[in-house]
Every structure is written in structure tokens, then in C-alpha cells.
Amino acid sequence: MVELIDGKKLARELNEKTAARVTALKERGITPGIAVILVGDDPASAIYTRNKHRKAEKLGMKSVLKTFAEDVSQEEVMACVQDLNQDPSIHAILIQSPLPSHLDEKVLDNAINPQKDVDGFHPFNVGRLYNNDPDKCYPVSCTPRGVMTMLDHYNVKLGGRDVVVMGRSILVGKPMQSLLQNRNATVTMISRHTKDKAFYMRHADVLIVAIGQPRFVKAQDVKEGAVVIDVGINRLEDGSLCGDVDFEDVKDKASLITPVPGGVGPMTIASLMAQTVDLAEWSEE
């Protein structure tokens, strides 16, 4: 029988641990600080940023929100990044996506101090992840980190298993691939250019989907007893949310599956908060 992966419950448990770590740091005179840069008035970005801000404050952290108008210049945002890099009370910096087209997001992300790069996008941190550097503490992209926490909690064995990652973004797919390979999984990454997606999907012991296509994955695409992690979140015309996996069609074929909403989403923010505390702790080493 299929078992649902309860992202909300796991996120609550992780947030409780994070709050305890924040308290312990404060007793040493350190308040973890996170800063978010938001450009423009994209509604989804505004909601997501507000949720991050509220959660950080609820957990006892310092939370700073830097907002800019849609027509802000690259130089102005860059100056903000540099100021935050120099601010000792800020341990974590992120730039909320998407940015207006006239801004170079990669240049801005790369300007963040790697030791404050809470999204794990800086090439320095990407390289350490890819190299599986065991002697360094470094941040990784928060959604893949949350997925790994889920897999560990539900005792999903990865060594030697066939794992398929659908989608190759720097936000999810590529760091997910490295994290899985670092656990000795056999990883196949597929994209829209893959000729026979169904072949790879049907052979996956673990299927991780992050492609932004509503209900793309059907039961016929899934191996009996597979673990299915749905990272996608899509808003339909009626306002409801669904994932990249057709949950109702697939759920009875999987052994473990994440719902949407209530699966990976809550773990992303909880992982962001935990990683902010990581950065605060590492800053004192």
C-alpha cells in the first residue's frame, strides 16, 4: 500500500530543531540573519518572500527584506548585495527569482559571498557539491536538500539504486543529481531533449520530477513500487494546485509519493531556515 510523504509534518519537526539551534546560538551572542532581495511586484514572489520573512522571525532569526522597483538598475542591486556581504549580522543572502529581464541574475548570484550563499548557487559552492568535498561545510540548493531529508526520514536506500531526475535546472535538477550521486545512486537525468522519456521513467526505483508540466507523469510511466517525489507546483485555471505527477493516477502504483501541495514545498522553506542557521554556525568556525 502506498505511503504518503508528509512534508508538512517533516517541516514542522525540522523547524522545531532549527528554533532550538537559534536559541543556542543566541545564548552565545549570535543571532542568525537572513536577507532577501526582491525586485518588482510579481505576486507569487511577494507571497513566497513574505512567507520566508515570517518564518525566519517566528524561529527567532533576524530577517531583512530589501525591495526594489521593477526598473531598478543592475548597479543598484549589486550595491545592495555588496552591502549585505559586508554586514556581519547577515549570514544568509538570497535573490528572489524571477528577476526582470534587464537584470543579469547569474552575475548577481555570483556576487554573493559564497559563505552567505544560502541558495547554493555560487560556482564555488556548486563545485564543492559536485566534488563531494568531505572536509568543507557548504550550502546546497534548498529544494534538493529538502528532498534528501525526506528520503532519509523514510529510510529510502539510494546506494546502487536507479534514480531518474526529470528536469535539469540549477535550482533543482543539477544539485539533486550531485546529491544523489554522492550517495552512490545510479542517476539518470532527462529533459525535453531526451528521446524516450518513458523508458527511463519506467525503470526508476526513485523518480524525482521537476519539469513544470501539470500531471505529466502517469501510472503507465512509473515502475511498480517506485518512490515518486513531485517537486512541481502548477496553478490550474480553476485556481487549484497540482504537481507534475498525476497524483490520483500514480498513487496506487508507488510505494512512497509526495502530495502537491503539502509535500516538497514546506520542506524547501524549512531547509532554507535550517541552512541559514548552518551558515551562522559555520561563520564562527
Q: Is 96 a catalytic residue?
A: yes
- What cell was used for 55? 518564518
Contact 228, 257 (CB under 8 A): yes
Q: Kindly provide the residue ranges of all beta strands, DSSP E only, lying in 144-255, ordered along the sequence.
A: 162-166, 186-190, 206-209, 227-230, 234-235, 241-242
Which of 6, 55, 96, 253 does the annotation list as catalytic? 96
- Tell me the CA end-to-end span of the chain in Å, nearest whole number: 46
Which of 52, 55, 174, 197 does the annotation list as catalytic? 52
Specify the DSSP element, H or E, that contains 147.
helix 142-153
Contact 271, 146 (CB under 8 A): yes
Q: Is 119 a catalytic residue?
A: yes
| Nearest by Cα to 218 from 192, 244, 184 | 244
Contact 218, 249 (CB under 8 A): yes
- What cell was used for 243? 504537481
Amino acid residing at 51? N
- Cα–Cα distance between 117 and 114 in angstroms, integer? 5
Query: Residue 160: how many CB atoms within 10 A of its CB?
Result: 10
- Strand partners of residue 230: 209
Q: Is 52 a catalytic residue?
A: yes
Which of 6, 109, 117, 119 does the annotation list as catalytic? 119
- Strand partners of residue 57: none
Catalytic residues: 52, 96, 119
